[in-house]
A and B are shown apart, each in its own frame.
Chain A
Amino acid sequence: MATLVFLEHHEGELEKRGLAVLSKAASLGGEVAGAVLGAGVGDVAATAGRFGASAVYVCEDPALGAPLPQPRVDALERLVRDQGFDTVLFAQSILASDVAAGLAARLEAGLNWDLSDLVQQDGALVGKRPALGDSVYVDVGWRGEPRIGLFRSGAFDPVETGGEARVESFSATFQDFSLAATMVEQAHEERTGPSIEDAEIVVAGGRGLGKPENFALLEELAKELGGAVGATRAVVDAGWYPYGSQVGQTGKTVSPKLYIACGISGAIQHKVGMQNSNVIVSINKDGNAPIFEYSDLGVVGDVQEILPKLTELVRQRKGA
Chain B
Amino acid sequence: MSPVRPADFPPPFAAGDALAEPTDPEDERIDVGVLIVGGGPAGLACAVRLGQLLEENPRLAERLGEVPVAVLEKGKAPGSHLLSGAVVNPRSLRRLFRGRKTIEDMPTYGPVHAESVLFLTPRGALRIPTPPTMTNDGNYVASLSELGRWLAEQAEESGVTILPETAADKLLVTGGRVVGARTGDKGRGREGQPLGNFEPGADVVARVTVLAEGTQGHLTGAALEHFDLGGENPQVWALGVKEVWRVPKRLDRVIHTLGWPLRKASRFREFGGCWIYPMGDDMVSIGFVVGLDYRDVELSAHDLLQELKTHPRVRRILEGGERLAWGAKTIPEGGFVSLPKRLHAPGLMICGDGAGMVNVPALKGVHYAVESGRLAAEAAFAALQPGRTAWTRGALEPYDASVRESFIWKDLQQVRNMRQAFGRGFWMGGALAGMMTATKGKLPPGNARTEHDAEHALLRSGRARQYPAPDGKLTFDKLSSVFVSGNKTRDDQPDHIRVQREVPIDLAEMWAAMCPAQVYEVGEGSGDGTVTVAITPSNCVQCGAITAKGGRLTPPEGGSGPEYTLT
Contacts and interface: CB of A to CB of B under 8 A. Distances in A.
B491 A269 contact: no
Contact of B536 (A237, A249, A272, A290): A237
B479 interface: yes
Interface in A256-270: 267-269
Contacts of A243: 491-492
A233 B480 contact: no
B483 interface: yes
A186 B482 CA distance: 46
Contacts of B480: 267-268
Interface string B477-493: 10110110000111110
Nearest to A266: B479
Contacts of A249: 483, 488
B538 interface: yes
A171 interface: no
A265 to B, nearest CB: 9
Given A237-B536, A250-B538, A268 B488 contact: no
Contact of A233 (B477, B483, B538): B538
Contacts of A272: 483
Contact of A250 (B190, B477, B479, B489): B489
A237 B483 contact: no
Interface in A56-109: none
Contacts of B479: 267-269
Contacts, number: 30
Contacts of A269: 479, 482-483
A314 B482 CA distance: 39
Interface in A230-268: 233-234, 236-237, 243, 246, 249-251, 267-268
Range class of the A interface residue count: 10 to 19
Main SS class of interface, A: helix
A251 B538 CA distance: 13
A250 B536 contact: no
B540 to A, nearest CB: 13
Contacts of B483: 249, 268-269, 272
A236 B490 CA distance: 13
A66 B489 CA distance: 43
Contacts of B492: 243
A224 to B, nearest CB: 30
Contacts of B482: 269
The bracket for how many chain B residues form the interface is: 10 to 19
Contact of A237 (B477, B488, B491): B491
A188 B450 CA distance: 72
Given A267-B479, A268-B480, A269-B483, A236 B536 contact: no
Nearest to A248: B491
Nearest to A271: B483
A249 B483 CA distance: 9
Select the residue from B477, B491, B492 with max chain A CB neighbours within 10 A: B491
A225 to B, nearest CB: 28
Contacts of A250: 488-491, 538
Interface string A266-309: 01110010000000000000000010000000000000000000
Interface in B124-183: none
Nearest to A251: B491
B495 to A, nearest CB: 10
Nearest to B535: A237
- Residue with the highest number of chain A CB atoms closer than 10 Å, among B479, B482, B538: B479
Contacts of A236: 491
Interface in A14-31: none
Contacts of A233: 491, 538
A273 to B, nearest CB: 12
B48 to A, nearest CB: 35
Contacts of B477: 267, 290
B192 to A, nearest CB: 15
Contacts of B538: 233, 237, 250
Nearest to A250: B491
A269 B479 CA distance: 8
Nearest to A234: B536
A236 B488 CA distance: 16
A249 B482 CA distance: 12
A267 B517 CA distance: 13
Contacts of A246: 491
Nearest to B536: A237
Nearest to B469: A288
Contacts of A237: 190, 491, 536, 538
A290 B190 CA distance: 28
Interface in B440-486: 477, 479-480, 482-483
Interface string B536-549: 10100000000000
B563 to A, nearest CB: 12
B506 to A, nearest CB: 24
Contacts of A290: 477
A268 B492 CA distance: 19
Interface of A: 233-234, 236-237, 243, 246, 249-251, 267-269, 272, 290
25 contacts: A233-B491, A234-B536, A236-B491, A237-B190, A237-B491, A237-B536, A237-B538, A243-B491, A243-B492, A246-B491, A249-B483, A250-B488, A250-B489, A250-B490, A250-B538, A251-B491, A267-B477, A267-B479, A267-B480, A268-B479, A268-B480, A268-B483, A269-B482, A272-B483, A290-B477
- Minimum-distance CB pairs A-B, first 6: A267-B479, A268-B483, A268-B480, A250-B491, A250-B488, A269-B483
